[in-house]
Structure 1
Amino acid sequence: MDTYLGSRIFWKFEKDCFVLKMRRREKRRILASYLQHIHNVADEIEQKTKQIRLYINAINELENGRWISVPFSHPVTIDTSVLDSDLKNKMKSDLESFLKSEQYYHRLGRVWKRSYLLYGPSGTGKSSFIAGMAKLLQYDIYDVDLTKVANDSDLKLLQLQTTRRSMIVVEDLDRYLYEKSTAVSLSAISNFMDGIISSCGEERVMVFTVSNKDQIDPTVLRPGRIDVHIHFPLCDFPAFKTPANSHFGAERTQAFPTS
């Protein structure tokens, strides 16, 4: 027996199939939404139990497409990342809100996706934070190496081969653009971020990292292409508390005050 919207529903297993029974007068009221409810709950269970995978783009075309993957079992979480605690809480809230906002995006006529820019010097924890985001969302990671992309059309094909419920990552975007170390044009990268191809799949998160966002054309980082900017500064004392506690258990000592 199950209960949904105040109604009792009965399931029975008969001859290798499930039979669903409910009162005739309630069928029109709840049947469609109840079946959608079952689908949503099944998706949630699958997401919580699935093995996250890390995909990287190969240079040569393979039998199973351009992406090759390995299981992703990084132990980091957003909580263990070296970032201001208030900002970590805001980011967790933002990501959790995104997971529940499908109807909101569709009501606005927008594709259900969100994009983030992580900027700051090398070694400040941007890559680890990306891993924590993927763990929180339970999304596969597609790590795009632009030096292995042949041309603008190749970038579009790579994007078409990504799946929903995934995180598409381009690290060191400023290096690619500033040094022009890729065969992909600025226009193609801009379309990759918010063009028609990027709208072909939903429930996606896009993450870009840069060391210095001032070196990037402002049109690349305009609102709509990037929803959230997150600064990763060099480690200060409040941020130092997180690794000190996790590595050494140093939480409160005379030399390590709480404020």
Structure 2
Amino acid sequence: MERLAGFGSAIASFMFLFAMVKQYFPYQLQAYFTTYTTKIVSFVYPYIQITVPEYGERMKRSEAFSAVEAYLSSSCSKRARKLKADIGKDSSKVLVTMDDHEEVVDEFEGAKIWWYASKTTPKTNTISWYPGGDERRFYRLSFHKRQRDLIINSYLSHVLKEGRTFRIQNRQRKLFTNNPSSNWHGYKKSTWSHVVFEHPSTFDTLAMHPDRKKDLIDDLTAFRNGKDYYAKIGKAWKRGYLLFGPPGTGKSTMIAAIANFLDYDVYDLELTSVKNNTELRKLFIDTTGKSIIVVEDIDCSLDLTGKRKSKKKTDSDEDAEEKKKLPPGMDDKEENSKVTLSGLLNFIDGLWSACGGERIIVFTTNHIEKLDPALIRKGRMDKHIEMSYCGFEAFKVLAKNYLDVEDHHLFDAIKTQLEEVSITPADVAENLMPKSEEERKNPGICFGNLIKDLELAKEAAAKAEVSNKEESSSVEDSP
């Protein structure tokens, strides 16, 4: 090791002396000597270096640099002596990385790799267009030339994969909503606006039968781990879920639980603000992987109940027809046209749906019978999940959530009532939520209120049934 250190020191001294002396050579000879000196040094110096700059073309931050930074933070920073901490872009945690002019050693399949973090500061007084001024940061890795194929073909891919995984795990998840087309200033910039996604719903707190909950969790897990399988069968890596049932049965809560389970972003798509099929495609292109695209109450968003036209038309034909319908002097920017059924079908499983990957599309509806069968067939909405009225198993989850009670002497009476009365989880939850300190200390009060509410609902249902029978009889007796 001492010999290697001495050899490296000699090489460094030679390069320093050469840099000092070459300035006295004529300009024409400098390039000549530099070329051949580099060849001589590379012949005796057995190490190869690769530089990863922070900014690439058009002054855009390099994706490779970000991935390397995340990889070194997760894998190598523990071995560094000088560290720096910062909250990265879209990150929910502090990112601790090696400081400038610091070096760490990594190992991969028996090969040793040296990572060096540094920055350059040009001495010129010209205006810099780089973020942060003139400083240009970079990472440089060095390795023995005999490991060249291993590093280039395997190690760099490993670094990018692990770095991206670490960034995703530490990112700050978001809830997006689409902006009206009138607010677009180049769709790449402002098609979506977002807030931090902080919904607390999980499958542990979701009021649902345990067997159905387990079935859904298994399905989501298979999807998340199914990248290679989807590629093998030739399908885009996406899955559709249709949530249907009466209002108050927890469809929106279910979406939040799915997002928290998968650690995905959520895109809440408002179809009524989308002008045409072309804009719908642009919105889809601007979504990212590991995301859930949600269209709530799809039966109310668009008229998807009518018969489809016998002759297929292209999106441009449909857009042209919409323009013809507008009054004179009004262009399509002043009037929102509707997205067609064919455009929505193409959005779900057409060619454009294969852009990117690892996306879940969720539709919710209170009236599944109103939807076109082509929209909800398997292959588009792969799994249909009925969000039904509250059963006893779902009630026990709510009792645990709201009152921290797992068993009570009133449970048998509640179970009997729930088997006879249709009530939504939202109504049950409202009765179980303590309204006073007394109710917090004595959960039996809340359970008693629920029993009373169930009895009233049972009486109302019986009266409605009698009223319906009387109306039917009067209709039959009328001439």
Q: Quick one: distance in 1 between partners of 2:383 and 2:356?
A: 20
Q: Amino acid of the residue matched to residue 144 of structure 1?
A: L
Q: Quick one: distance in 2 between partners of 1:252 and 1:15?
A: 59
1:79–1:88 Cα contact (<8 Å) kept: no
Listed as ranges, the gaps of 5+ residues in structure 2 are 1-104, 119-138, 306-335, 416-479
- 2:115 counterpart (3, 10, 13): 13
Deviates more, 1:172-181 or 1:208-217: 172-181
- Percent identity, please: 37
Structure 2 residue matching 1:168: 3-state secondary structure: strand
Structure 1 residue matching 2:240: 3-state secondary structure: strand
- 1:114 counterpart (217, 226, 239): 239
Which structure 2 residues correspond to residues 60-71 of structure 1 after superposition, within 5 A?
A: 60-63=182-185, 64-71=189-196
Per-residue CA deviations over 1:162-204 (Å, capped at 9, x if unaligned) read 1222211101112234587971211111111111222222111
1:15–1:225 CA distance, 2 compared to 1 (3 A): closer
1:33–1:229 CA distance, 2 compared to 1 (3 A): farther
Q: Amino acid of the residue matched to residue 255 of structure 2?
A: I
Task: Find the counterpart in structure 2 of residue 172 from structure 1.
Answer: 297
Tell me whether 1:35 sits opposite 2:137 in the alignment. no
After superposition, the CA RMSD in angstroms is 2.6
Task: Find the counterpart in structure 1 of residue 399 from structure 2.
Answer: 244
Tell me whether 1:216 sits opposite 2:371 in the alignment. yes
Q: Quick one: distance in 2 between partners of 1:248 and 1:141?
A: 30
Q: Quick one: distance in 1 between partners of 2:112 and 2:375?
A: 54
Whose strand proportion is higher, 1 or 2?
1
Structure 2 residue matching 1:219: 3-state secondary structure: helix
Listed as ranges, the gaps of 5+ residues in structure 1 are none
Per-residue CA deviations over 1:117-140 (Å, capped at 9, x if unaligned) read 111111111101101111122221
1:38–1:250 CA distance, 2 compared to 1 (3 A): same
Q: Quick one: distance in 2 between partners of 1:13 and 1:179?
A: 57
1:156–1:13 CA distance, 2 compared to 1 (3 A): closer
Q: Quick one: distance in 1 between partners of 2:110 and 2:407?
A: 54
Q: Quick one: distance in 2 between partners of 1:106 and 1:224?
A: 16
1:177–1:216 Cα contact (<8 Å) kept: no
Tell me whether 1:157 sits opposite 2:272 in the alignment. no
Q: Quick one: distance in 2 between partners of 1:196 and 1:111?
A: 9
Per-residue CA deviations over 1:207-228 (Å, capped at 9, x if unaligned) read 1111122221211111211111
Task: Find the counterpart in structure 2 of residue 145 from structure 1.
Answer: 270
Q: Quick one: distance in 2 between partners of 1:216 and 1:131?
A: 24
Deviates more, 1:14-23 or 1:222-231: 14-23
2:349–2:380 Cα contact (<8 Å) kept: yes
1:171–1:209 Cα contact (<8 Å) kept: yes
1:169–1:208 Cα contact (<8 Å) kept: yes
1:233–1:131 CA distance, 2 compared to 1 (3 A): same
1:166–1:191 CA distance, 2 compared to 1 (3 A): same
Q: Quick one: distance in 2 between partners of 1:132 and 1:32?
A: 39
Q: Name the count of aligned residue pairs.
A: 255
1:141–1:167 Cα contact (<8 Å) kept: yes
Deviates more, 1:231-240 or 1:191-200: 191-200
Task: Find the counterpart in structure 1 of residue 350 from structure 2.
Answer: 195
